[in-house]
Amino acid sequence: MVDLSINFAGIKAPNPFWLASAPPTNSGYQIMKAFEAGWGGAVWKTLGIPVVNVSSRYGSVNYRDTRMMGFNNIELITDRPLADNLREIEEVKKYFPNHAVIASLMVETRKEWIQIIKDVENAGVDGIELNFGCPHGMCERGMGSAVGQEPEVLKTIVEWAKDAAKVPVITKLTPNISHITDPGLAAYQGGTDAISLINTIKSIVGIDLDTYAPYPIVDGKGTNGGYCGPAVKPIAMNMLKDLAQHPEISKIPLSGIGGIETWRDVVEFILLGATSIQVCTAVMHYGFGIVREMDAGLRAFMDTKGYHTIYDFAGLALPNVTEWKHLDLKYKVIAAINPDKCIGCDLCYIACDDGAHQAIARSIDLKNRIPSIIEENCVGCNLCSLVCPVENCITMLRKDDGTAHVTWAERTNADDIPTSFNDNRAGGIGHFVPKPTDALKS
């Protein structure tokens, strides 16, 4: 029997599906509705000294017919008075004592931190999340990512919070930084109980071609916003991996955020070491109801694999994420086209010919357009299999027999790597390249 309940750094929840601190957690009404729909926890919209927001707040990147593939916002933290939020937190906890309610906080001075932590604890929160992430507006005021980008400052504030808090403290990181492990380690050293990531990424999602203003446009002007949604998932996962593989930071639980929408996303984040996940954009797009797809999918996955709790598979992908230099240079795959499935679009041909290694030939049979792989030219880059519009039409087949194995690191140790510009150990030597003038023939 699958048991989805979690204990995240001491914060208990019936399942790992949490709402990220954002508009969906703006009010008690929304959070109660979400819990009814099946969410296990919610990080309240960041509390602090209430702000004033602009009108026209969101922009998006639509990829073809897919709306909000990437999403950006120029909203700040809550614009509602603290007292209203506290009252509603209390009410939510009364109705849902076993769900996780976490207060996201962002203030400036130590005095303010101590005060607001006391306030939310009195209201009954199960944990607090320090928002060091917001990349617009708040940072201009010395908060949010302005803190998240300064590990020393971040560490100090984590220490303040830990000092003041009785409930577990989660530190939420900004991705607007070169090495996520820098603020990650600072938070760890400051004594944080857990880390959540990522907050939004600084972005401009588009420019209006008549007014020349960036979206979202506020009376003819715009500003950089915070990017999130499906587009940021790969960035979030990479950062999550960095923390989960870190010898020290990995000792504390990690909450994964960034582009999560389906059960697959959830499983991927857990495999990379997250033990709770948070969602914002997908809920802003489809409402709380999407949790039913995540829930059913996660359960089915765990059932099939025979896992009882998410801890049974948390982090299982981590050993397989290694450094480039440890990858096997003898491993060799080659593309294969299934002629029964091919629809003759020749996208693979042109992708390979113009964008890769000239390893696909067009059909010489006038009756069809099924291309063929020139095996000796194929470097096994995967490109054709990625562009092919037909499910399972191009597959990459393993060609080496698995007996030989050598990595860049080993070759380096053995002094067997190219060292000069025209070194004959270059990987491309002997590989077919057409004559430049072949390009000119019709």
Partner 1 sequence: MAEYNRPTSEAEFQNNFKQKKPLMNPTEAFYESARCLFCYDAPCIKACPTHIDIPLFIKQIQTKNTEGAAQTIFNANWLGNTCGLVCPTGVLCEGACVFNHQNIMPIQIGRLQNFATHKVIDSGKEIFKVGKPNNKKMAIIGAGPAGIACACELRSLGYQVCIFEAKNKASGLAVHGIAPYKISNEEVLNEISYLQNQLGFEIRYNTPINSKEQLQDLEKNYDAIFLGLGLGKTGALEIEGENKKGVIGAVEFIEELRSKHHHLKVPNKVVVLGGGNTAMDAASEAAKMGAKKIVLAYRNSKEKMKAYKFEYDFAISAGVDSLFNLVPIGIVGKGKVEGVKFAKTELIEGKLQTKNNDVFVVQCDLVIKATGQAKQGAFYQLIDHLKCDNQSRLLINKETFQTSNPKYFAGGDAVNGGAEVVNAAYDGKMAALGMHQWLTK
Ligand X SMILES: Cc1cc2nc3c(=O)[nH]c(=O)nc-3n(C[C@H](O)[C@H](O)[C@H](O)COP(=O)(O)O)c2cc1C
The CA-to-CA distance between both ends of the chain, in Å, stands at 64
Q: Distance between CA 143 and CA 201 in Å, rounded?
A: 16
Q: Is 134 annotated as catalytic?
A: yes
C-alpha of 283 from chain center: 15
Backbone φ, ψ for residue 61 (5° rounding): -105, 115
**Residue of 112, 346, 400, 410 interacting with ligand SF4 (CB under 6 A):** 346
Residue 260 interacts with ligand SF4 (CB under 6 A): yes or no: no
Q: Quick one: angle between helices 82-95 and 110-123, nearest 10?
A: 30
* Residue spans of beta strands (DSSP E) within 191-239: 194-197, 201-203, 225-228
Q: Which C-beta is closer to ligand SF4: that of 26 or that of 199? A: 26
Closest contact distance (angstroms) between CB of 64 and partner 1 is 10
| Token output for 271 | 């495999």
Q: Residue 337: name its binding partner from ligand X, partner 1, ligand SF4, none (Cβ under 5 to 8 Å by kind).
A: ligand SF4
Q: Which C-beta is closer to partner 1: that of 208 or that of 303? A: 303
Q: Which stretch binds partner 1 (CB under 8 A): 24-32, 208-216, 283-291, 404-412?
A: 283-291
HSE-up (13 A, CA, CB side) for residue 265? 25
Which residue type is seen at 404? A
Tracing tokens 């959830």 back to the chain, one arrives at 266
Closest contact distance (angstroms) between CB of 124 and ligand SF4 is 29
Q: Residue 21: name its binding partner from partner 1, ligand SF4, ligand X, none (Cβ under 5 to 8 Å by kind).
A: ligand X
Residue 389 interacts with partner 1 (CB under 8 A): yes or no: yes
Find, among 23, 30, 21, 24, the residue nearest to 53 by Cα. 23
**Residue of 179, 221, 292, 330 interacting with partner 1 (CB under 8 A):** 292
Closest contact distance (angstroms) between CB of 211 and ligand SF4 is 19
Task: Assign 172 to helix, strand or coil.
Answer: strand
Instruction: Answer positive or negative: Cα dihedral of 433, 436, 441, 442.
Output: positive
Residues that bind ligand X (CB under 6 A): 20-23, 45-46, 71, 73, 75, 77, 104, 131, 133-134, 172, 199-200, 228-229, 232, 257-260, 279-282
Q: Distance between CA 268 and CA 301 in Å, rounded?
A: 11
Q: Distance between CA 320 and CA 203 in Å, rounded?
A: 31
* Residues between 23 and 62 that touch partner 1 (CB under 8 A): none
Q: Residue 270: name its binding partner from ligand X, ligand SF4, partner 1, none (Cβ under 5 to 8 Å by kind).
A: none
To 10 degrees, the CA torsion angle through 270, 157, 76, 226? -50
Find, among 339, 361, 342, the residue nearest to 350 by Cα. 361
Which residue type is seen at 38? G
Q: Residue 290: name its binding partner from ligand X, partner 1, ligand SF4, none (Cβ under 5 to 8 Å by kind).
A: partner 1
| Token output for 56 | 């026209």
Site mask for ligand SF4 (CB under 6 A), range 350-389, x = bound? ---------------------x---------------xxx
Q: Which C-beta is closer to ligand X: that of 51 or that of 379? A: 51
**Residue of 102, 237, 279, 348 interacting with ligand SF4 (CB under 6 A):** 348
Q: Which C-beta is closer to partner 1: that of 292 or that of 398? A: 292
- For residues 52 and 44, is the Cβ–Cβ distance under 8 A? no
Q: Residue 300: name its binding partner from ligand SF4, partner 1, ligand X, none (Cβ under 5 to 8 Å by kind).
A: partner 1
Site mask for partner 1 (CB under 8 A), range 295-334, x = bound? -xx--xx---------------------------------
| Token output for 301 | 């996955």
Hey, which residues are catalytic here? 134
Instruction: Give the residues lining the site for partner 1 (CB under 8 A).
Output: 65-66, 262-264, 286-287, 289-290, 292-293, 296-297, 300-301, 341, 389-393
